Amino acid sequence: MCPQSSVAHTYTGGPRGKDNEASHINDGSSPLSVFLLYFAEIITLLAVETNCYYQDYIDRLDDGLSPDPDVTEAEMFVFLALTIQMGHGVRDKLTDDWSTLDQLYTSFYGTMMKWDRYLHILCY
């Protein structure tokens, strides 16, 4: 059994005396800076692969559908933020978060991203 400690780890900054890949991260860095250190490349990969999958889908269609614009990294961040936020509320359907009914209305979702765009990213 592991010994109990009141502090799991006290961050003291990067290694001293040698360069590291995250020299801009220190004990005063914001949580967002640390998050981006780990997830920036993943967000880029998600956007690139979403766009590739969607383009493959469009290429297989014969109806001349006008393609939607590529998903940007900024949109992917918003998409993920909305998806995480949805877990904090209890709704019956995904569309309820964008509902304009008085009893369900929450302006946050529609302000951050239109329903159609969210659904586009979700599907591809």
Q: Which residue has the higher pLDDT, 11 or 43?
A: 43
**pTM beyond cutoff 0.85:** no
Q: Please give the pLDDT value at position 1.
A: 43
pLDDT tens digit sequence for 56-113:
888 888 777 778 899 999 999 999 999 988 877 777 888 888 888 887 888 888 999 9
Where exactly are the structural domains of the chain?
Answer: 38-123
Q: Please give the pLDDT value at position 76.
A: 96
Q: What angle do CA 95, 52, 85 make, to 5 degrees?
A: 30
List C-alpha distances in Å: 101 to 20, 25, 80, 96.
52, 44, 24, 9
Q: Please give the pLDDT value at position 22.
A: 67
Q: Which helix (H) or strand (E) holds 71?
A: none
> 109: how many CB neighbours lie within 10 A of its CB?
19
Structural tokens at position 22: 């995250």
Q: Please give the pLDDT value at position 43.
A: 93
